[in-house]
């Protein structure tokens, strides 16, 4: 124990990760946090159901168990809940201080900070992961804003943090009812998700099945699995609600990196599953026509053609511009085909369409008042043809 003390007590935490509450390793950690806990709560999350148990200690330590295995240990630096104290970080991580910046932590842990898309930086140390949380808006490189350190057995870049099980915005969206398969009331859950989306607390991923289409697509029996993905405004986790033909519905929370790699089956033509109103609605949507890899997408809406052309500038700007083809461009496409579109896309790129002097600047629908809607519509229309779709298919092939 003396050796541990000299290097900090972090190994006591790392040993407890993944262990049941009755294990010696967790017993040792609980002793270090000083008994008894000042707050204990138990909840259920997701489907299939996960039992979440949290123990908060007066010392500022906290243990989160999922189905009786330690899923996270939190070191709160400031008093939280019923705890009257915060931890002394140097006690756990030798060489660190409570006002540590990200670089200070890297030095103390002798490990570089790693990053993942849409996730806070984290450290990988001896089989566990440490993720610092700073005050909102506090620069990580500056001292003084550290609030807590979360230690997990799973990579926080890929697995949503158990801490967020407590998110007030999204923790109660799943409607349980034992009368239904898997204990999930699908229609009530869809209603709950829809009303939260309507007030802006959740954002639907346009490249997945829309919430409004989830039930009709599932009922049609045309798809093995139908999944909607929604991002929580507060905790940024992504809820994946999945209805499968041969198994019970699932509902769980993911990081962006994990959600984006989940399988996405192509959606059959709306005429095969939508009602009359939905079919009419689809006529007004953008439809994929063709694309050139990392170059352009051609889309149509009724008689109109739209070109989404990618452009970049000095490695700083990498974006795309969307124009509706005018009459002469449509005519040139009819005679010149894909070659014409590649030429046009190249001209658009060379014109620096992010500058007003470009003739495409004023035509860029992404810059117009409906820009956000256009981006969402284009993403949805091209979802099966992007590099991400390709990556996902390759990953699925490798698993087969």
**Residues interacting with Zn ion, by CB under 5 A?**
167, 169-170, 232, 234-235
Least separation, in Å, of the C-beta of 371 and Zn ion? 27
Half-sphere exposure of 206 (CA within 13 A, CB side): 14
Q: Which is nearer to Zn ion, 234 or 247 (CB)?
A: 234
The residue among 72 and 232 lying less far from Zn ion, judged by its C-beta, is: 232
| Residue with smaller CB distance to Zn ion, 234 or 312 | 234
Residue 170 or 345 with smaller CB distance to Zn ion: 170
287-292: strand order across its sheet: 287-292, 296-301, 304-313, 317-324
Place of tokens 């390759």: 394
Closest approach of Cβ 54 to Zn ion, in Å? 16
Three-state SS across the chain?
CHHHHHHCCHHHHHHHCCCCCCCHHHHHHHHHHCCCEEEEEEEEECECCEEEEEEEECCCEEEEEECCEEEEEEEECCCCCCCCCCCCHHHHCCCCCCCCCHHHHHHHHCCCCEEECCEEEEEEECCEEEEEEECCCCCCCCCCCEEEEEEECCCCCCCCCHHHHHCCCCCCCCCECCCCHHHECHHHHHHHHHHHHHCCCEEECCCCCCHHHHHHHHHHCCCCEEEEEEEECCCCCEEEEEEECCCCCEEEEECHHHHHCCCCCCCCCHHHCCCHHHHHHHHCCCEEEEEECCCEEEEEECCEEEEEEEEEECCCEEEEEEEECCHHHHHHHHHHHHHHHHHHHHHHHHCCCCCCCCCCCCCCCCCCCCHHHHHHHHHHHHCCCCHHHHHHHHHHHHHC
CB of 168 to Zn ion, least distance (A): 8
Least spacing, CB of residue 258 vs Zn ion, in Å? 15
- Please state the closest distance from residue 175 (CB atom) to Zn ion, in A: 16
Q: How far apart are CA 282 and CA 217, in angstroms?
A: 14
Least distance between Zn ion and beta carbon 134 (Å): 19
Select 169 or 300, whichever has its Cβ closest to Zn ion. Answer: 169
State in angstroms the smallest separation of the CB of 173 from Zn ion.
9
Nearer to Zn ion by C-beta: 96 or 159?
A: 159
Nearer to Zn ion, 146 or 230 (CB): 230
Which residue, 88 or 233, is less far from Zn ion as judged by CB? 233
Rounded to a whole number of angstroms, the minimum distance from the CB of residue 255 to Zn ion is 12
Nearest alpha-carbon partner for 257 in 242, 238, 243: 238
Between residues 18 and 162, which has the closer beta carbon with respect to Zn ion? 162
Report in angstroms how near the CB of residue 201 gets to Zn ion at its nearest. 8
């Amino acid at each position: 124990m003396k050796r541990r003390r000299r290097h900090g007590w972090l190994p006591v935490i790392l040993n407890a990760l993944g262990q049941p509450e009755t294990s010696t390793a967790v017993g040792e950690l609980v002793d270090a946090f000083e008994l008894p806990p000042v707050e204990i709560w138990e909840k259920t999350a997701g489907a299939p159901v996960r039992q979440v148990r949290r123990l908060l200690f007066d010392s500022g330590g906290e243990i989160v168990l999922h189905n009786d295995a330690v899923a996270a240990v939190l070191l709160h630096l400031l008093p939280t809940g019923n705890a009257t104290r915060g931890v002394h970080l140097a006690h756990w991580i030798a060489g660190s201080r409570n006002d540590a910046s990200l670089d200070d932590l890297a030095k103390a842990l002798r490990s570089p900070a790693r990053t993942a898309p849409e996730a806070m930086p984290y450290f990988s140390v001896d089989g566990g992961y440490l993720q610092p949380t700073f005050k909102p808006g506090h620069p990580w490189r500056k001292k003084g804003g550290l609030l807590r350190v979360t230690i997990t057995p799973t990579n926080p870049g890929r697995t949503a943090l158990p801490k967020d099980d407590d998110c007030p915005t999204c923790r109660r969206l799943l409607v349980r009812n034992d009368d239904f398969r898997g204990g999930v009331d699908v229609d009530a859950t869809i209603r709950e998700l829809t009303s939260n989306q309507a007030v802006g607390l959740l954002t639907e991923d346009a490249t997945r099945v829309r919430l409004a289409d989830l039930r009709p697509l599932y009922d049609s029996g045309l798809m093995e699995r139908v999944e909607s993905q929604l991002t929580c405004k507060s905790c940024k986790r992504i809820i994946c609600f999945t209805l499968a033909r041969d198994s019970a519905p699932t509902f769980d929370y993911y990081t962006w990196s994990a959600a984006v790699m989940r399988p996405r089956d192509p959606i059959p033509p709306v005429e095969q599953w939508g009602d009359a109103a939905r079919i009419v609605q689809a006529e007004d949507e953008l439809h994929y026509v063709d694309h050139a890899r990392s170059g352009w997408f051609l889309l149509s809406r009724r008689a109109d053609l739209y070109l989404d052309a990618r452009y970049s500038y000095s490695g700083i700007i990498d974006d795309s511009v969307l124009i509706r083809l005018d009459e002469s461009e449509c005519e040139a496409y009819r005679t010149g085909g894909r070659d014409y579109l590649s030429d046009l896309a190249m001209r658009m790129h060379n014109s620096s369409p992010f500058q007003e002097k470009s003739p495409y600047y004023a035509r860029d629908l992404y810059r117009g008042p409906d820009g956000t809607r256009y981006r969402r519509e284009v993403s949805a229309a091209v979802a099966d043809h992007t590099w991400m779709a390709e990556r996902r298919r390759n990953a699925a092939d490798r698993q087969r």
